[in-house]
Amino acid sequence: MSADDERRSGSERRSDPARRPPSLSTPTSPHWNPFGTAVAVFTAVAIPIVVVGYTRDAGPSTVIIVLGVVIGLIAGLIAGLWVDSRGGQVWRGPRL
Protein backbone atom coordinates (compact mmCIF):
# COMPACT_ATOMS: atom_id res chain seq x y z
CA MET A 1 0.00 0.00 0.00
CA SER A 2 1.47 3.35 -1.01
CA ALA A 3 1.28 6.63 0.86
CA ASP A 4 -1.22 7.86 -1.73
CA ASP A 5 -3.52 4.92 -1.01
CA GLU A 6 -3.27 5.51 2.73
CA ARG A 7 -4.14 9.20 2.39
CA ARG A 8 -7.06 8.42 0.10
CA SER A 9 -8.47 5.73 2.37
CA GLY A 10 -8.03 7.97 5.41
CA SER A 11 -9.89 10.83 3.77
CA GLU A 12 -12.67 8.48 2.70
CA ARG A 13 -13.15 7.32 6.29
CA ARG A 14 -13.57 10.86 7.59
CA SER A 15 -16.92 12.32 6.70
CA ASP A 16 -16.70 15.70 5.07
CA PRO A 17 -19.19 18.12 6.74
CA ALA A 18 -19.97 19.68 3.38
CA ARG A 19 -21.01 16.31 1.95
CA ARG A 20 -22.89 15.05 4.98
CA PRO A 21 -26.68 15.15 4.57
CA PRO A 22 -28.49 17.48 6.97
CA SER A 23 -29.60 15.91 10.22
CA LEU A 24 -32.95 16.46 11.86
CA SER A 25 -31.47 19.17 14.07
CA THR A 26 -30.13 21.16 11.11
CA PRO A 27 -32.52 24.03 10.33
CA THR A 28 -33.68 23.99 6.75
CA SER A 29 -34.71 26.85 4.55
CA PRO A 30 -38.01 25.83 2.97
CA HIS A 31 -38.71 26.98 -0.55
CA TRP A 32 -42.28 27.26 -1.79
CA ASN A 33 -43.47 26.48 -5.29
CA PRO A 34 -45.17 29.61 -6.70
CA PHE A 35 -47.72 27.62 -8.72
CA GLY A 36 -48.62 25.41 -5.77
CA THR A 37 -49.00 28.47 -3.57
CA ALA A 38 -51.27 30.13 -6.13
CA VAL A 39 -53.48 27.03 -6.39
CA ALA A 40 -53.67 26.70 -2.59
CA VAL A 41 -54.62 30.35 -2.09
CA PHE A 42 -57.19 30.18 -4.91
CA THR A 43 -58.75 27.11 -3.31
CA ALA A 44 -58.76 28.61 0.18
CA VAL A 45 -60.43 31.81 -1.00
CA ALA A 46 -62.78 30.59 -3.74
CA ILE A 47 -64.34 27.48 -2.15
CA PRO A 48 -66.02 29.16 0.85
CA ILE A 49 -67.45 31.96 -1.31
CA VAL A 50 -68.71 29.51 -3.95
CA VAL A 51 -70.28 27.29 -1.28
CA VAL A 52 -72.13 30.27 0.22
CA GLY A 53 -73.32 31.31 -3.23
CA TYR A 54 -74.46 27.78 -4.09
CA THR A 55 -76.21 26.85 -0.82
CA ARG A 56 -78.22 30.00 -0.15
CA ASP A 57 -81.82 29.60 1.03
CA ALA A 58 -83.02 31.69 -1.91
CA GLY A 59 -81.27 29.36 -4.36
CA PRO A 60 -77.90 29.42 -6.08
CA SER A 61 -76.57 32.85 -6.96
CA THR A 62 -74.47 32.94 -10.11
CA VAL A 63 -73.16 36.38 -9.20
CA ILE A 64 -71.74 35.20 -5.86
CA ILE A 65 -70.26 32.05 -7.43
CA VAL A 66 -68.54 33.98 -10.23
CA LEU A 67 -67.40 36.63 -7.78
CA GLY A 68 -65.84 33.93 -5.57
CA VAL A 69 -63.95 32.41 -8.50
CA VAL A 70 -62.69 35.81 -9.69
CA ILE A 71 -61.59 36.90 -6.21
CA GLY A 72 -59.88 33.53 -5.73
CA LEU A 73 -58.05 33.84 -9.06
CA ILE A 74 -56.84 37.34 -8.24
CA ALA A 75 -55.69 36.36 -4.73
CA GLY A 76 -53.96 33.23 -6.05
CA LEU A 77 -52.21 35.17 -8.80
CA ILE A 78 -50.97 37.81 -6.35
CA ALA A 79 -49.73 35.17 -3.89
CA GLY A 80 -47.98 33.15 -6.62
CA LEU A 81 -46.27 36.21 -8.06
CA TRP A 82 -45.20 37.34 -4.59
CA VAL A 83 -43.65 33.95 -3.79
CA ASP A 84 -41.96 33.90 -7.20
CA SER A 85 -40.50 37.39 -6.67
CA ARG A 86 -38.90 36.18 -3.43
CA GLY A 87 -37.38 33.13 -5.09
CA GLY A 88 -39.66 30.75 -3.23
CA GLN A 89 -38.34 31.79 0.15
CA VAL A 90 -41.26 33.16 2.15
CA TRP A 91 -39.58 33.85 5.49
CA ARG A 92 -36.19 35.58 5.41
CA GLY A 93 -36.04 36.51 9.07
CA PRO A 94 -34.30 34.74 11.94
CA ARG A 95 -35.10 31.09 12.53
CA LEU A 96 -36.92 30.34 15.77
Contact assessment for residue 76 and residue 20, using Cβ atoms and an 8 Å cutoff: no
Per-residue model confidence as pLDDT tens digits over 71-84: 999 999 999 999 99
Per-residue model confidence as pLDDT tens digits over 19-61: 666 566 655 677 889 999 999 999 999 999 999 999 999 989 9
Closest to 38 (Cα-Cα) out of 81, 69, 89, 68: 81
Taking the chain, what is the end-to-end CA distance rounded to the nearest angstrom? 50
